[in-house]
Amino acid sequence: MALNRPMKIVTLGDSNVGKTALLLRFVKKTFYDDIPITIVDILQTQMNIENKKVDLFLWDTGGQERFKSLISNYFRLADGALLVYDVTRISTFAELPGWLSLLRAVNDKASVVIVGNKIDEADLKNVTLTAVKDFAAWHRLDFVEASAKTGENVEEIFQLLTKKILKSISLTSSDEADNSEDTEMEKSDFQQDDTELKLLPSNSMHEVPSRKKRCC
Ligand SMILES: Nc1nc2c(ncn2[C@@H]2O[C@H](COP(=O)(O)OP(=O)(O)OP(=O)(O)O)[C@@H](O)[C@H]2O)c(=O)[nH]1
Ligand SMILES: [Mg+2]
């Protein structure tokens, strides 16, 4: 099914797992070593999905505990979410259920892909494939292990997630056609969201100064 509006994707997961790096790899095709801590940031790009150009709004949220109440506001209208952990830090994997609950508390429809980032650090990897497979199967989610640094599997993450989003939209489209009131509501929600998007200074909120290398 064709999508005639932008697709909105959010990132979530602990700080330092590489959410921003993954988005920058996908959009700018580059890896940055020293990225400022994110509060909320927006990137926009286009992607060819089923032979049609679709606009993607990528809402990058900060993983620091103190931003949780702020960023959950951005989850509500997401079509899809990247639930990211760092394969070298098991604590970031252990936090995934909490992040998923935060998303599901405000959005039970968004398609979700779990991303285990930093697989280039093979020697430091301490989240096993079995662990993530079990977690993903339990929650009926797909997962990808990737590296923003080398670019491995980054394109695949977005292919997988956007296909899942389209599939879920096409499954619910008949319901929407049957309920024009709901559809109008969703349209105005989205327009409101567009306005919100334009109001953000330079589309971004970062914390300055930037963090140096990984802290822990
Ligand atoms: N080795 C390696 N380092 C990475 C990778 N992705 C990100 N990093 C590094 O990890 C650090 C944190 O990356 P960010 O993308 O800023 O992490 P984040 O999840 O956006 O963090 P918050 O904005 O605080 O939530 C940076 O120093 C990145 O250069 C990767 O795939 N491999
Ligand atoms: Mg970030």
- pLDDT tens profile 54-94: 999 999 999 999 999 899 889 999 999 999 999 999 999 99
Please give the number of the atom of ligand 1 that sits closest to the Cα of 21.
Answer: 15
Tell how far the Cα of 168 is from the centroid of ligand 2, in angstroms.
27
More confident residue, 26 or 73: 26
Q: Supply the pTM of this predicted model.
A: 0.85
CB burial of 184-194 (b: ≥16 within 10 Å; e: otherwise) equals eeeeeeeeebe
Long-range contacts of 29-33 (CB under 8 A, 24+ apart): 29/151, 31/148, 31/149, 31/150, 31/151, 33/213
Tell how far the Cα of 23 is from the centroid of ligand 2, in angstroms.
9
Q: How far is residue 129's CA from residue 135's CA, in Å, rounded to a whole number?
A: 10
pLDDT of residue 200: 37
User: What residue type is assigned to position 9 of the chain?
Assistant: I
Q: How far is residue 213's CA from residue 215's CA, in Å, rounded to a whole number?
A: 6
More confident residue, 193 or 14: 14
182 — pLDDT class (breaks 50, 70, 90):
very low
Residue 125 Cβ contacting ligand 1 at under 6 Å: no
Q: How far is residue 3's CA from residue 21's CA, in Å, rounded to a whole number?
A: 27
pLDDT of residue 2: 58
More confident residue, 188 or 20: 20
Site of tokens 């926009």:
44
- pLDDT tens profile 99-125: 999 999 999 999 999 999 999 999 999
CA-nearest of 77, 154, 97, 70 to 120 is 154
Is residue 208's pLDDT more than 80? Answer: no
Tell how far the Cα of 10 is from the centroid of ligand 1, in angstroms.
16
Nearest-ligand number for the alpha carbon of 33? 1
DSSP string, 16-39: TSSHHHHHHHHHHS---SS-PPEE
Tell how far the Cα of 181 is from the centroid of ligand 2, in angstroms.
37
More confident residue, 215 or 179: 179
pLDDT of residue 76: 94
Written as six digits, the tokens of 56 are: 């993607």
pLDDT of residue 171: 73
pLDDT of residue 49: 84
Residue 149 Cβ contacting ligand 1 at under 6 Å: yes
Tell how far the Cα of 16 is from the centroid of ligand 1, in angstroms.
5
The sheet carrying 7-12 orders its strands as 142-145, 111-117, 80-86, 7-12, 52-61, 38-49, 204-206
More confident residue, 44 or 183: 44
More confident residue, 122 or 202: 122
The protein residue with its alpha carbon nearest to ligand 1, atom 30, reads 118
Residue 112, classed as helix, strand or coil, is strand
User: What residue type is assigned to position 180 of the chain?
Assistant: S
Nearest-ligand number for the alpha carbon of 37? 1
- pLDDT tens profile 137-180: 999 999 999 999 999 999 999 999 999 999 988 777 655 555 54
Pocket test for ligand 1, best of 149, 204, 210 (most atoms within 8 A of CB): 149
